[in-house]
Amino acid sequence: MKVKLLSILLFVAFMPIAIAEPVMIVENPIVSLSSEKDVAHFSVMIRNNVPDERDITILVKTDLPFSISKESFHMLPYTRDYFDIWVPAVGLEKGLHPIDVIAYDGETSSRLKLIVDVEESGEKLVVDPITESVTVRQGEEQNLRILVRNLGEEELKNIVISGDIPTAFDPQYPPVFNLEAGQSKDLSIKIGVPADYPDGQKEFTITAASGNVESSTKVKVKIWKKFSYESMVSMRLIAMEPLKDEEGNVEGYKIRVNVENKGPTDANNLLFTLSDLPAGWSIENNEAFDLRAFQILDREIIIKASDFDEHKTELLLVKGSETVASLPLLIAGYKIGVYSTGITGMLFGGSSTIMLGVLVFVILLLILLYIRQRNQLEDQLAIVGAKKRFEKMIEENPPEEGENSIEYLKKLVREAEKEEKKSKKKK
């Protein structure tokens, strides 16, 4: 069957009251094709032309099977709304089929008459776009999806899909195929827009042909300017923790980062990698993920090391071949399951350069502690020696009877100075 919108007639009937009737207008009447049948599709706009709110009910009078998107409306003054009516052609006889649509608000009504013309289809091969318009950015790829149907009673063989898509897009048409009577096939045509291709809208013709039987359709491609994900995605380090095996040996890192999409466009199929990854090192727990517009996520990866050396590298977040975000890292290797043979490896299990610095620091600290303790001991010995010498001087030079204590102390000081001079001469 082939369904046509033969005519659209507008009838307005209203009661003699002071308010205007609701108005219905058919916008963009089209015939849409599905994988199994033709469907008449009407998009209807209803408008409230009065300064009052009112409730409007939609009534459909027809013998045809139909579906409607919405049957009642609460409309504000001078506003409009929409509803859709679909009529499948399965089982319909050839000829004209009327549909009466009535909008009623309890007092006034508006009547819309639709007529569907059902004809025998002379086409055996039909191709239609699944998506009539697609968008793609410069430098990116996109799929154009079409539906090919065999409406005849015999198998169609060697169906070829072709089009007028520029060779610069490198179109990848599906291979030749056969289609049984009454069957359909969903196909994709992959295109890649060059990075320097002008932005704007293009319309391409896609053709399906089997011998002298063919059908064509139009597909619109909207080309947007190249978008830089690097300008809207950021990444920061949250934590970098060592990983240890069952015996306590450090064998790698657990790295947690925060990634944020600050833009209005989704960034899909993102993946982590390391620039200049040392031989034998590996990244685990690293799966591609999507970052929706304005979304913030915490992600975790594991880096397994295989040597003791330090490496300056960058953690990269990539989308295909484009680097979206980067984070500099300084990582020190660890021998998997084996301690370093030196004392530093036994204590810390880390790289030799770092452990050597720690060992030097510990030795210097021990030397300073030794010097401090030695000085404290010498001070204590000096105090004890001075006390003994003072007691000996009092014993050898006792105060004379009636001697003033101050004069006596001065005499002891003079004696001490003499002893000091004798001691220096001996030294």
Q: What is the rounded average pLDDT of the residues 121-149?
A: 86
Q: Sorting pLDDT into bands at 50, 70 and 90, what band is 282?
A: confident
Q: Sorting pLDDT into bands at 50, 70 and 90, what band is 161?
A: very high
Specify the long-range contacts of residues 412-418, CB closer than 8 Å, at least 24 apart: 416/389
Residue 86: phi and psi, rounded to 5, are -120, 135
The dihedral built from the CA positions of residue 234, 236, 238 and 243, taken in this order, carries a sign that is positive
Q: What is the pLDDT of residue 34?
A: 34
Q: Sorting pLDDT into bands at 50, 70 and 90, what band is 374?
A: low
Q: What is the pLDDT of residue 13?
A: 31
Q: What is the rounded average pLDDT of the residues 245-251?
A: 75
pLDDT of 238 above 60: yes
CATH of the domain at 334: 2.60.40.10
Note whether residue 62 is domain-resident.
yes
Q: What is the rounded average pLDDT of the residues 354-369?
A: 69
Contact partners, residue 183, CB within 8 Å, separation at least 6: 149, 150
Q: Do residues 27 and 43 lie in contact, with contact meaning Cβ atoms separated by under 8 Å? A: yes
Note whether residue 346 is domain-resident.
no
Question: CB-hemisphere CA count at 13 Å for 171?
Answer: 18
Is 262 in the same domain as 322? Answer: yes
Note whether residue 398 is domain-resident.
yes
Q: What is the rounded average pLDDT of the residues 295-316?
A: 83
Note whether residue 345 is domain-resident.
no
Please identify, among 176, 203, 224, the residue that sits at the C-terminal boundary of a domain: 224
Q: What is the rounded distance in angstroms from the CA atom of residue 158 to the CA atom of residue 171?
A: 20
SS (H, E, C) the chain: CEEEEEEEEEEEECCCCCCCCCEEEEEEEEEEECCCCEEEEEEEEEECCCCCCEEEEEEEECCCCCEECCCEEEECCCCEEEEEEEEECCCCCCEEEEEEEEEECCCCEEEEEEEEEEECCCCCEEEEECCCEEEEECCCEEEEEEEEEECCCCCEEEEEEEECCCHHHCCECCCCEEECCCCEEEEEEEEECCCCCCCEEEEEEEEEEECCEEEEEEEEEEEECCCCHHHCEEEEEEEEEEEECCCCCEEEEEEEEEEEECCCCCEEEEEEEECCCCCCCEEECCCCEEECCCCEEEEEEEEECCCCCEEEEEEEEEECCEEEEEEEEEEECCCCCCCCCCHHHHHHCCCHHHHHHHHHHHHHHHHHHHHHHHHHHHHHHHHHHHHHHHHHHHHHCCCCCCCCHHHHHHHHHHHHHHHHHHHHHHC
Is 190 in the same domain as 283? Answer: no
**pLDDT, mean over the chain:** 77
Is 34 in the same domain as 85? Answer: yes
Please identify, among 209, 224, 239, the residue that sits at the C-terminal boundary of a domain: 224
Please identify, among 59, 88, 119, the residue that sits at the C-terminal boundary of a domain: 119
Is 189 in the same domain as 279? Answer: no
Is 28 in the same domain as 107? Answer: yes
Is 19 in the same domain as 113? Answer: yes
Q: What is the pLDDT of residue 166?
A: 94
Note whether residue 275 is domain-resident.
yes
Is 301 in the same domain as 323? Answer: yes
Q: Do residues 26 and 114 lie in contact, with contact meaning Cβ atoms separated by under 8 Å? A: yes
Is 250 in the same domain as 296? Answer: yes
Q: What is the rounded average pLDDT of the residues 64-80?
A: 91
pLDDT of 185 above 70: yes
Residues 191-217: tens digit of each pLDDT: 999 988 998 999 999 999 988 788 999
Is 86 in the same domain as 181? Answer: no
Is 6 in the same domain as 108? Answer: yes
Note whether residue 349 is domain-resident.
no
Q: Sorting pLDDT into bands at 50, 70 and 90, what band is 259?
A: very high
Q: Sorting pLDDT into bands at 50, 70 and 90, what band is 96?
A: confident
Q: Do residues 272 and 286 lie in contact, with contact meaning Cβ atoms separated by under 8 Å? A: yes
Is 301 in the same domain as 398? Answer: no
Note whether residue 9 is domain-resident.
yes
Q: What is the number of structural domains in the chain? A: 4
Note whether residue 351 is domain-resident.
no
Is 136 in the same domain as 219? Answer: yes
Q: What is the rounded average pLDDT of the residues 39-62?
A: 87
- For 418, the domain range is 359-426
Q: What is the pLDDT of residue 90?
A: 62
